[in-house]
Structure 1
Amino acid sequence: MTLGHSLTLSGAALIALPSGGLFWPDEGLLCVSDLHLGRSERMARRAGALLPPYDSAATLARLDADIEAVRPARVICLGDSFDDLAAAEAMDEADRLWLLRLMAGRDWLWIEGNHDPGPIDIGGAHLESLRVGPLSFRHIAEPDGGAEVSGHFHPKARIAGLSRPCFVTDGSRLVLPAYGSYTGGLDCTTPALRDLFGKGARVILTGPRPIVAPLDQISPRSSSLSR
């Protein structure tokens, strides 16, 4: 069974999953970024915007399906896992129990993000960054970084009329799409994101059929990031 699109990052053989998750088979490692659990609650509380309150359940269902498919021994949540501290505290009890069930029996690592509430009473380890083999995992890419997996930018791209969240990589650096629902996205040609990558960079659209294209061939479009 083909799980997704295979790629190599600094010698590590990885799979970009249709969901926006990243699987590293040799390490039994699943990495997801920018879950933004509790986003609809935070939007209602801060801005008065009433979004359907199902984003956390939709995100957890996606994560549940990926865990069932790849059976990871380790899960890395690459920052901005909760929309803010209050959203974490207000998490629906059913969603909290669902998350705890997914965490059970696995090495679960929360990487710090700019939205993250810091350590919370839900288990797992909290780290600023993590190195596994040749790769470093952090929330925001470092300008001079290499062999690095990060998130934060919520990259998206339009290819052949399809606009979707996407992975962006040049073989040395990889930026993951936002995994959570209602997260918005930043056009992958925006300089703050585009300038992180060297020659040969490409994008990989999420979705049931991986679509890959050179980053330099993506036409600039207006961004719609909302974080």
Structure 2
Amino acid sequence: MNFFAFQLAGAALRALPSGGLWWPGADLLCVSDLHLGKAERMARRGGPMLPPYEVRDTLGRLEQDLAATGAGTVICLGDSFDDLDAAHALPPAERAWLERLVAPRRWIWAEGNHDPDPVPFGGSHAAEVLRAPLVFRHIARPPGGDGAGTPDSGGALAEVSGHYHPKARVNLRSQRITRPCFLLDRKRLILPAYGTYTGGLFSHAAPLSALMDDPAVAILCGPAPCAVPMPR
């Protein structure tokens, strides 16, 4: 299994090619922003008609990461569904597939802005998840906020979040490429979107530049994840 190994607040982590985060020491796989059901939600709201295969593609990659890591705990870091109606509208086959993935593991659905309420697929629901020295939440708190570089009530020292779907445009091996990416500094990690039908926000955009301290790196997703200085 290819990965990029790094540390955050002393936790030894691995960025996977898919955009998943593997924490071997905690037996934990974290994925963010699956946005399952986006094609259904867009059609329901009168938007463009997209091929309705994104749920199967996203679940297929998730199943591969679970098989490769053997993770006993999964944190879905918010916006797992494009909205709550999309969660209830999953076709029976995809619903059963998701329930099979959830059932044998400790599965935590962290609430996102698209899916703030519990969903009917098993597992548990939480506003955020503390697993010291890390705290997992959907949206990063601004610098100086509780849980991002300063100990919170549970003693967490660093923050893992999603929400922004970061991507980076870089020159790599004489080619100009754009890839989803993790953003990492000394206090926080922002995960890329895991879902198939998800766009992205460039790392040089103002919200991400304001969140990330110097020095920060972008860990590019793809067959061989690698780190580059965060483009600003």
Residue correspondence of structure 1 range 73-152 to structure 2 within 5 A: 73-116=72-115, 118-143=117-142, 144=144, 145-146=148-149, 147-152=158-163
User: Cα deviation per residue 1:64-115 (whole Å; 9 max; x = unaligned)?
Assistant: 0000000001000000000011101110111111111111210000000000
8 Å CA contact 1:167–1:205 kept in 2: the answer is: yes
- The list of structure 1 runs, each at least 4 consecutive aligned residues, that deviate by more than 3 angstroms after superposition, is none
**Residues 24-51 of structure 1 deviation map (CA, whole Å, 9 limit, x = unaligned):** 0000000000000000101111133100
Q: 1:16 is matched with which residue?
A: 15
> What RMSD over aligned residues (CA atoms) do the two structures have, in Å?
1.1
The match for 2:221 among 185, 203, 206 is 206
Separation of aligned partners in 1, 2:4 and 2:119:
34
Return the alpha-carbon distance in structure 2 between the equivalents of residues 117 and 103 of structure 1. Answer: 19
SS of 2:163 mapped into structure 1: coil
Letter in 1 for 2:49: L
AA in 2 matched with 1:155: P
Question: Partners of 2:28 and 2:177 in 1: how far apart?
Answer: 29
Q: Which one is further off, 86-95 or 147-156?
A: 86-95
Aligned residues: 216
Q: Which residue of 2 aligns with 1:181?
A: 196
Residue 45 of structure 2 aligns to a residue in which SS? helix
The whole-number CA distance in structure 2 between the counterparts of 1:111 and 1:59 is 18
How far did 1:117 drift?
5.0
Partners of 1:34 and 1:151 lie apart in 2 by 7
Q: Which residue of structure 1 lines up, in the alignment, with residue 169 of structure 2?
A: 158
Using the size of structure 1 for normalisation, the TM-score is 0.93
In 1, distance between residues paired with 2:64 and 2:185? 28
Does the Cα contact within 8 Å between 1:3 and 1:15 map onto a contact in 2? no
Determine the C-alpha separation between the residues in 2 that align with 1:47 and 1:4.
39
**1:211 & 1:61 partners in 2: Cα distance?**
23
SS in 2 for 1:82: coil
How far apart, CA to CA, are the structure 1 residues paired with 2:104 and 2:125?
17
User: Residue type matched to 1:201 in 2?
Assistant: A
SS of the equivalent of 1:47 reads: coil
- Name the % identity: 56
Alpha carbons 2:41, 2:83 under 8 Å: kept:
yes
1:88–1:117 Cα contact (<8 Å) kept? no
One-letter amino acid of the structure 2 residue matched with residue 197 of structure 1: M
Amino acid at match of 2:10: G
The one-letter code of the counterpart of 2:199 is G
Q: Is there any run of 5+ residues in structure 1 with no aligned partner, and where?
A: 221-227
Distance 1:57 1:141 in 2: 29
Amino acid at match of 1:141: A
Structure 1 counterpart SS, 2:211: coil
